[in-house]
Amino acid sequence: MAKKTVTNARSGARGQRPDAVDVVRRLATTFPGATTELHFSNAFELLVATVLSAQSTDARVNLTTPELFKTYPDARALAGADLTALEQLLVPTGFFRQKARSITKLSQRLLDDHGGEVPADMEYLVTLPGVGRKTANVVLGHALGVPGLPVDRHVLRVANRIGVATGDDPVKVERQLCDQLPADQWTLASDCLILHGRRVCRPTPQCARCVLNDICRYAVAGTRAPKPAPARTRA
Ligand code: SF4
């Protein structure tokens, strides 16, 4: 059967990749003030909250962190936490034993290496327990003023459908998106794609009410969406 091709007045040529800057502009208008939905007051809190968000939801983490940071307000306190008591606090986030170990160990590392501060250093951050490139980018982009484009399962799914990225490798998709956007839009782009993936371009996409449906490859070509990417994203 002949494959449908992408033709669209705004995207111009057949099969042309939609303009990522236009995509981000439209989504930013749809989701004004888009940012991470995790609550935090400093880089350390965001780092810990993001580690806790793995295999959980931001809402669940936000219910847990007020008590957590009241009891253990900084890296020194968390590094010395009683593991059993800490695990009890983390039960609602799931995988609480593993997460308790990760956040106490990463706190100890921060204490040993940086006096308890979180450095704006991707190479260092990804060496911390429970921290992968996605988590490091979240912290760099939202709390340390360093452009970062976190790629989670929503970004993978939505970017592939729209046609601004190809593939299910988070590092490659991050690079593809960064190459199309100015650095000061990287974090915003991730936040917008995540919100869009949660609210509109869900696993079953709601294209009829989507602000991208005139440029999105999936909607324009009428193709089936690529399979949702497997959970390859590291923390
Ligand atoms: S048009 Fe449909 S597939 Fe494309 S981004 Fe919008 S909701 Fe997702």
83-128 pLDDT, tens digit each: 999 999 999 999 999 999 999 999 999 999 999 999 999 999 999 9
Give the amino acid at 209. Answer: R
Q: What's the confidence (pLDDT) of residue 14? A: 47
152 is catalytic: yes
Whether the pLDDT of residue 67 is over 50: the answer is yes
Ligand 1 atom nearest to CA at 216? 4
Q: Which fold has domain 43-143?
A: Endonuclease III; domain 1 (1.10.340)
Options 3.10.20.580, 1.10.1670.10, 1.10.10.60, 3.40.50.1370; CATH for 20-34+149-221 is 1.10.1670.10
- Determine if ligand 1 sits within 6 Å of the CB of residue 207: yes
Confidence of residue 15 (pLDDT cuts 50, 70, 90): low
Q: What's the confidence (pLDDT) of residue 221? A: 86
**What is the rounded CA–CA span in Å between residue 141 and residue 147?**
5
Q: pTM, whole model, 2 decimals?
A: 0.88
* CB within 8 Å of 168: residues ≥ 6 apart: 156, 160, 229, 230, 232
Sorted by where each begins, the domain ranges of the chain are: 20-34+149-221, 43-143
105 is catalytic: no
- Determine if ligand 1 sits within 6 Å of the CB of residue 54: no
DSSP state string for 84-95: HHHHHHHGGGSS
Which of 207, 209, 220, 227 should be mutated for ligand 1, with most atoms under 8 A from CB?
207
CA dihedral in degrees (201, 202, 203, 209; nearest 10)? -50
Ligand 1 atom nearest to CA at 213? 1
